[in-house]
Amino acid sequence: MRKVMTSAELKLWNELRAHRLMGLGFRRQFPIAGYIVDFACPEKKLVVEADGCHHTETDAVASDQARTVRLEQDGWIVLRFWNDDIIRDIDNVCQHIVIAAGLGRASE
């Protein structure tokens, strides 16, 4: 469990905390099935992960895939966003989260 957030995690957390995003209740560094996820909305069983460049390494990719499979087996929806996308386009990231939570729909 990390106390210091990356700049992308901090930016995302500022959008998610205190029910700021469509009233969704997110928790940070939340334990699920032996893992600690970056952000979780237990009510919607939604996990949001902020991934940096180290997630492109072979071992990390395999680990992330296994983690996602395990969480999905327990009924969680897992969303992964690159740190760069969070920093550059937080509005689109938030839109994807809202849609995944079932509170919005993709624009046509």
pLDDT digits (tens, 9 = 90+) for 15-63: 999 999 999 999 999 999 999 999 999 999 999 999 885 655 567 788 9
Residue 29 lies in a domain: yes
Residue 42 lies in a domain: yes
Find the domain containing 16 and state its range: 7-100
Residue 2 lies in a domain: no
* CATH number, domain containing residue 75: 3.40.960.10
Phi, psi of 90 (to 5 degrees): -60, -35
Q: Residue 53 CB: number of other CB atoms within 10 A? A: 10
Which amino acid belongs to residue 31? P
Per-residue confidence at 91, pLDDT binned at 50, 70, 90?
A: very high
| Total of domains in the chain | 1
Q: Would you state the pLDDT for residue 52?
A: 81
CA dihedral 90, 100, 52, 21 (to 10 degrees): 40
pTM, whole model, 2 decimals? 0.89
Residue 67 lies in a domain: yes
How far apart are the C-alpha atoms of 51 and 64, rounded to whole Å? 10
Residue 1 lies in a domain: no
Q: Look at the block and give the residue holding tokens 């929806």.
A: 77
